[in-house]
Chain A
């Protein structure tokens, strides 16, 4: 009886995987080999790799994703470290997680309110005598908002890996003659690398395909692969080309996963 139940669940699980993971990817792959008139062709891939525009877009996506990931990491690691040492760590973690429950678009609109010509930030800049600046539709604005949105996804895995480090390991390092800085470098940071890797995966990959932010905050000046996919599917209706870019994006994600995989510690 129980055995049958488990089987029923596995069937459900496989059905889910096939319907919502494997089939869509196959469809995407299939679609990427069709031109705008529905004939089979390798033309989409040729035009992707021959056209400077698409390569520039790819480069842009990767570049911005790297910048956003780095900024997020630089802010998140110290923050996660401090939080892990605080008394009510779980409470502070909740405060970090809270914004992720708010819809992405709502947060983007909130930033429009902050960065607009007559927004809060410009009001302040005027007040201290700098005068209003163009903030919206700049690369800086795009990076700031993207980093803001991704920070919780970087902090969570790092925080968890830091909390898991046994305090006695830190005591042992100090006991053996390591200063606080040496303990940090030789023990704490190496032992939290799993969290850092998970954080990079959780931030870099979604940032590659961010598109609403590029429009709302970046004003379509930053064109990433995500924006390009949206354009092809919804505006130019060239599904084949959109699917091709989608495949490129998936390959980029696989490469990222591979580079940040959990390598067996030490060993030869």
Chain B
């Protein structure tokens, strides 16, 4: 396997008594788009600051291309940051901001001018060289911040919730553009966000964080389809989580019935949590359904109806349906065996991965 570009080994961070990060291990490979996903206070920004060099870990080692960089100051790391509030220098214009890093390195005027033009072109702001920062909109400032960080030719670009201040449409556009820029330049992006949609849309690899720990890491599809626990399932997308019992391999019981499923490797009759995504549930005539539910509420969301219902066991279900349903009426609810995802209680990520692999080989 290729040498990881950034590696955290057992990294811990404490402020006085407060433990912000607890023994973080992670590997960042060259040329991929990584996302640190978590709510505020989960430690994701702390990881970014450790990578950038604004913080020194209180435990463990941070490696860059295999070399320990715990004590290397930020100006000597080939890592640049796009800050949450953009942090553009208000006393300089756009070109001066973008060439700030190059000017420090003593690059020639012509070289800087060419690079500034190239970078502004990359972020679609050609011709904005002489604008003052105060004349730019939030979205344009965002682009200048990206151009400024990239003009330094970093090996890794860190992005600290850069899209959170933009409106919905602009955010969507920037998501595509950031992804395109990353693929065009082929450098590593580490993106921090609390927005799970953003994370799923942009990333090659996601680290889900909570309370100073990485709960799960994997591709967007892995994390969405196979969340390791209740927290991840709730955090990534909408989900229905009901208590159940694993009767034996490939047979789970919940809502008072037994269902065929595709999970295995657990003790017989082990208590588990069952996850069903709202979009995997379909409303059908009662005799075709696997469960019978009564519709409670319905709201129109544009591309689908968000329906809540309860079954005869009084479990509540969220269903995303393309067709309207009648409130108070009883329907059948249908799902495939593959749609049932089983989470064991308190399973570690390593054990979870091992079990999934084992099950993959068997099936």
Contact A168 B83 (CB under 8 A): yes
Contact A174 B100 (CB under 8 A): no
Q: How big is the B interface, by class?
A: 20 to 34
Interface presence of A50 (CB below 8 A): no
Contact B75 A178 (CB under 8 A): yes
Q: Mark A161-196, 1 if CB is under 8 A from B, else 0.
A: 000001011011111111100100011001100000
Interface presence of A129 (CB below 8 A): no
21 residue pairs from A and B, CB less than 8 Å apart: A166-B87, A168-B84, A168-B85, A169-B87, A171-B52, A171-B74, A171-B83, A172-B87, A173-B89, A174-B53, A174-B73, A174-B74, A175-B80, A175-B149, A177-B105, A177-B152, A182-B104, A190-B91, A191-B89, A265-B132, A266-B93
Q: How big is the A interface, by class?
A: 20 to 34
Quick one: which of A166, A172, A178, A182 contacts B81, CB cutoff 8 A? A172
Determine how close the nearest CB of chain A comes to the CB of B225; give it in whole angstroms. 37
Knowing A175-B74, A177-B104, A267-B132, say if A187 contacts B89 (CB, 8 Å).
yes
Tell me the bound Cα distance from A187 to B91 in angstroms. 8
Further contacts, 15 of them, CB under 8 A, given A171-B52, A191-B91: A166-B85, A169-B89, A171-B54, A171-B83, A173-B100, A174-B73, A175-B54, A175-B81, A177-B104, A177-B105, A179-B73, A182-B104, A186-B100, A190-B91, A265-B90
Determine how close the nearest CB of chain A comes to the CB of B53; give it in whole angstroms. 8
Determine how close the nearest CB of chain B comes to the CB of A20; give it in whole angstroms. 37
Tell me the bound Cα distance from A175 to B52 in angstroms. 7
Q: Mark B83-109, 1 if CB is under 8 A from A, else 0.
A: 111011111110000001100110000
Prevailing SS type, chain A contact patch = helix
Determine how close the nearest CB of chain A comes to the CB of B117; give it in whole angstroms. 18
- The interface centre, meaning the residue of B53, B88, B90, B149 with most chain A CB atoms within 10 A of its CB, is B90
Q: B residues near A, CB below 8 A?
A: 52-54, 73-75, 79-81, 83-85, 87-93, 100-101, 104-105, 132, 148-149, 152
- With a cutoff of 8 Å between Cβ atoms, the chain A residues found around residue B79 in the complex are 175
Tell me the bound Cα distance from A175 to B84 in angstroms. 14
Contact A176 B80 (CB under 8 A): yes
- With a cutoff of 8 Å between Cβ atoms, the chain A residues found around residue B81 in the complex are 171-172, 175
Tell me the bound Cα distance from A202 to B92 in angstroms. 27
Tell me the bound Cα distance from A28 to B75 in angstroms. 59
Contact B91 A265 (CB under 8 A): yes
Tell me the bound Cα distance from A126 to B100 in angstroms. 56
- With a cutoff of 8 Å between Cβ atoms, the chain A residues found around residue B93 in the complex are 266
Determine how close the nearest CB of chain A comes to the CB of B276; give it in whole angstroms. 43
- With a cutoff of 8 Å between Cβ atoms, the chain B residues found around residue A179 in the complex are 73, 75
- With a cutoff of 8 Å between Cβ atoms, the chain A residues found around residue B100 in the complex are 173, 176, 178, 186
Determine how close the nearest CB of chain A comes to the CB of B156; give it in whole angstroms. 12
Tell me the bound Cα distance from A169 to B92 in angstroms. 12
Chain B residue nearest to A267 (CB atoms) is B132
- The interface centre, meaning the residue of A168, A174, A176, A179 with most chain B CB atoms within 10 A of its CB, is A176
Question: What 5 A-B pairs have minimum CB-CB distances, sorted nearest first?
Answer: A176-B101, A172-B87, A168-B87, A174-B74, A190-B91
Contact B90 A191 (CB under 8 A): yes
Contact B91 A266 (CB under 8 A): yes
Knowing A177-B152, A182-B104, A265-B90, say if A172 contacts B83 (CB, 8 Å).
yes
Chain B residue nearest to A264 (CB atoms) is B132
- With a cutoff of 8 Å between Cβ atoms, the chain A residues found around residue B74 in the complex are 171, 174-175
Tell me the bound Cα distance from A173 to B52 in angstroms. 12
- With a cutoff of 8 Å between Cβ atoms, the chain A residues found around residue B92 in the complex are 266
Tell me the bound Cα distance from A171 to B53 in angstroms. 10
Tell me the bound Cα distance from A172 to B146 in angstroms. 12
Determine how close the nearest CB of chain A comes to the CB of B213; give it in whole angstroms. 25
User: Among residues 218 to 242 in chain A, which have CB atoms less than 8 Å away from a CB atom of chain B?
Assistant: none
Determine how close the nearest CB of chain B comes to the CB of A1; give it in whole angstroms. 40
Determine how close the nearest CB of chain A comes to the CB of B99; give it in whole angstroms. 10
Determine how close the nearest CB of chain A comes to the CB of B148; give it in whole angstroms. 7
- With a cutoff of 8 Å between Cβ atoms, the chain B residues found around residue A175 in the complex are 52-54, 74-75, 79-81, 149
- With a cutoff of 8 Å between Cβ atoms, the chain B residues found around residue A187 in the complex are 89, 91
- With a cutoff of 8 Å between Cβ atoms, the chain A residues found around residue B73 in the complex are 174, 179
Tell me the bound Cα distance from A169 to B73 in angstroms. 16
Tell me the bound Cα distance from A137 to B87 in angstroms. 52
Chain A residue nearest to B134 (CB atoms) is A265
Tell me the bound Cα distance from A179 to B54 in angstroms. 13
Contact A172 B91 (CB under 8 A): no
